[in-house]
Structure 1
Amino acid sequence: MASKRLVDSNRDNAGDFIGESAVTQSCEPCMKTNISKSATVFCKDCDEYLCDTCKNPHTVYKPGQHKIVNLQDDKSAPVILDMKGMDKCHEHAREIVFFCHDHSKLCCLSCVLIHRKCDQLDDIAKVYRRARPDLQALKQSLIKMQSEADAIIADCKQSETGLNESIAKISSEVDTMKDRIIKLFEEAKQKLIREAKQFKTAEVKRIENKRDASLKVQKELNNVFSMCCVVLDSGTPSQQYIYSELMKEKRKTIESTMDDQRKIKFLSTTVSFPQQVTSLLEMGSNSIKLNYEGNKTVDTSPISLSSQPRPLILEQLVSVDVPKTGDDKEEPLLAGLDFLPDGRLVAVDNKNMKCIILNERLERLGTPYTFKHSPLGVVCVSHDTLCVTGGVKQVFLLSVSTDNTIRLTREITTSSQFDSICCMSPSNMVVSTYDDPRPARMISVDGVESDFDHFLTFPIKTYKGNASFCTYVQSKNTLILTDRFAHTVYMHDTMKGTSRAVTNENIQEPRGACVGPGDTVLVCSMHKYSIVHMTNDGNILGTYPVDMKNPNTICVSKDGTRLVVSNSVLGTKKLHLYKISPAMS
């Protein structure tokens, strides 16, 4: 057992003759790359078998002394194999000489006393002759596992390096995001200040006009009052009668002027922040989280702070029919929709010439306001002020109280026929037109009309009624125009003067449009019975079927969490309210 020739302590009988069979030793470096090649030499210093190809790189690149011997020459030198105690019984520390097949156990002479009654107890030499072990296969499997262990160690080193690099980048990434947010807020601040100055200029002009008109009335009243006192004290009966008759008409004129001035309400302005900003502040230090396997953070806010827009999930909350009611002359047609900041819904009924307030269950609140002519579009310009288009080249400013009372505060006569309307800034609106070669125009809350810069290229056509609608993405300075019968949505960058026409099989007779979460755009596709969701530069994010024919008008709440859509099919008018959620990546 202890006198076999050239048997390596960590390998099988390499290059040795065992009985009458020769075992060929393989090159160890080659085996690590799954190449089977016979070894020709052995490095005694490194205890490694090598072929002729691997011998030179081994001696050149591997540090240390290298005593290389040929395997054929080395076989003639008998060596004593040190089994390092492996050939001793663990229980009795005596040499192993038997193998018990019943218990699959190597036994020494002391073990024999325990296993003497076993059926199969053979000495090692007999067992070896009967079933020689395949040590070559064992060695190859060990070399393979050694290679795998090396790979695992290398992977650990690489992972540690990657971890150190990723940790080192955290501070830089957070600083980069912080700088982006600061820059974003600074740009928003400057934009807000510009709009506030424009608003102030417009309001100051309105205040001055009202004050000048009131001063003029006051001066006239002073003159009339002085004359009245003189006539009353010194006038003859005839003079007093004549003066009284003349003053009847004068009083009506003065009272009418004063009524007009009283109706002029000055608009106040405040700074509002979108829900995602206030939510970020509420989260505090938890607004930034570390991502690692098994602890992926998920953005569940209605509007993502990410620069990449996300598809939506629409969950229907309420669905109501919109039939003709007792005070309606015709079946209603909700031509315009918008949300008040407190969540109430405003709708204008084109057929019955009404402005209606609805709650979160789409139930009517208060008494509708009745127009003299048919309204077309509506937009909420402040917490209690509405701007309505319609009539014969008219725009109406309405006030809405907390008890749902609607009053007319001002009526503006315009030079164009306006259809849909949306906010561009606190004091300016964008309107779509019909029977006018300018498909979109601007109007301020004090009635000043203006056109977009000449470099902005609109379709060369004059739209008829219900053929084109608009919305405006304020943060992107992007004007959206739908062309119903061309099945096209136009995206106009009002700052750069560029335009893009978007067509898609899902855009069929596009009508109403509004700004959606994350400054995206939602458009009613009438003949697809659906809503198309797209980015402000025209990329389609998704299409959402709605359970109604010919969806016509659409709006999103100020916090971006709810959507309302109505349709325009005779006999089956509907109004749907949806909850908006971001789709998970």
Structure 2
Amino acid sequence: MATADSSGDILSQKDDELCCEPCLNDGQSRNVEGFCMECNEYLCHLCLDVHRKLRMLKTHHVKRGEDIPVQKPNQYPEEISCSFHTDEKITSYCQSHQQLCCDQCVILGHKVCIGLKHIGDFFKEFSESKDFQTDFENLKSLQSTYTGKMNEAKRSLEEVDLYYNNTMETFKAELDKIKIADIEKLRAIVTSYECVLCQLTAWLQEIDTCSKNKQNRELAIHMLRIKREAAAIKDNVQMLCTDDSIVRYGFTTDKTSLLRLVKAPYLVKAIDIKHKSDEKTCTIADIALLRENLIFITDNNNSSLKLFDTDLDTLVSYVKLPYEPWQISVTGKGEAYVALYGLPKILHFKLPATDLTTFSVINLDAKFYAVECFIKTLKVPCLSPARIIEVDGNGKLVGVVNSDLSKEATEKGEQFVINPCWSTQDPANGSMYLSCDRKNSITEITTDGKVKLIVKSDKLDSPQGFCMDTDGSFLVCSINGDVFRSPATDLTMFREIEVDGKCYTVECFNKTLKVQCMSPIKTIEVDGDGKQVRVINNDLRKETTGNGVQFILTPQWSTQDPANGSMYISCNSKQSITEIKSNDNVVTLLVKSDKLNCPHDMCMDIDGSILVCSYYSKDVFRMKKNEDIQSVIQKPLDFNPQAVALDKPTKKLYVGGQSDKIHVFQI
């Protein structure tokens, strides 16, 4: 009887004859006539017939005669199973697909493959193959590479503390510089105030002693001396202690580094002008600067006048009037004249104009809204009829500059002044300028009475109060909430240019206007006369990402790179910012991110980053070309921002929107 040893690899029997293993398992002993490489079994002639007949076994490789191995090959584990047919053993290797196969795999997918080998032959040849040698060398190379990487990582691990300590020391040194500078500056300011307060205390004690002892001679001498010295002290304090701010700094994340230490932006000023006696919401009709840090305000809605110290944020003086104050005119000497809304009266505040309860009333026989003062003479634009008169400081008529402004007309016979309710003045030559909300015009009246139309444009949209800047341009309030700045003293340079499309944004580069239109959404170029030069893009809605996603639908805000003329467009409905290059008109999506959260107006900083208003986030973001988006203000605004502008030299950021105030941030 043949017996199988524990390993199953060698089969023995009497006279060293081999027996059929399937039959031996059934208790029968038959001579071996073949060996199946796939089944790894010795077979008799009956079992060989079964191998030839069964479809599943037809492809098996059978060794016969002298090829029958005396000892079973053990080139792979018997337990190896097919990854596709888990009940089947691996029997073959397909060289075409480089795949180990079971019988099912061969029948279903590899019958016609070239290079189908028995698994035993494949294993035997594998160690000598070129593929094996290449793969083996690749593994050795990986081993060598990763060993080097691991050693490098170990060295870095050992140096972590060293780099950490060095970095923290460098970082702390920079922070210490800021801290020390702030401390030294503020200590000097505190010391100055301590010295001043010590001196004031000593003076007050001297005055108190003289008063109690009725030393009138000494009291008078002390007061005269103290008055002079106090004025000098006040000037010195103003000069030495003005800047009591500190450098605000904080951390911000950055894709290119761990953290960045930045000077934190902050709101410079937001003055609350409401007085406890005010019953209504304040409506500021006019603001005048009497001197540095002292502003004069007319509150039309509460019929009051207010004087504020913007340094101390304190109300210096307040007066309630029986009528509505409107416009203010301040002389070079600091006197102030206030026009009253629709009344034939002017309030005159004499030197020094710091006590609003002290004034004289000048009665005029006319209905007027505005007043200007030039060389001790008051110019008053009156209504019914619209005329300009001159009166002296007592209200006595000096002359009539123009008896009826409504008769003034353009070359086409169009009226341009019928309701002159607001005025300003050129302090250099005394020319008076009037805005007319009904004719959308601004008019100049020279000192010799000549009337000149400066501008008449629907763009002004009912112009209201206005003032003159140092460069001779005007800042004009429009009733729709806009403030226009004229480019020069001659506002006739404003023209209306008709374009073929509903225009939302415009940028100027090299004397050419780039206009972003709606319906259809196209970008065109026109020259200075409005003549179309070319169409940059006929329909931006067709622009899509590589995945076919649209990224422009409502382009209502834009900005421009002054260096190369590239135009940048924000789309609030697609949360995107797009660049349109000037030279080749290529449209490039810069960023499309929900973080923008309804982007509105934009402006560009000197480093090429873009500052953009996020309407729904109530924030202003800085967007860099690497798609890094960071907030530039410390906390969300209390209104929805729509407009933003940056004063690049001073780094002051102006943010406006659905709010009664313009917020100014130092960034």
Same fold (TM > 0.5): no
Using CA pairs under 8 Å that are at least 6 residues apart, name the structure with larger relative contact order, 1 or 2: 1
Larger strand proportion, structure 1 or 2?
Answer: 2
Tell me the TM-score normalized by structure 2: 0.28
Which protein has the bigger helix share?
Answer: 1
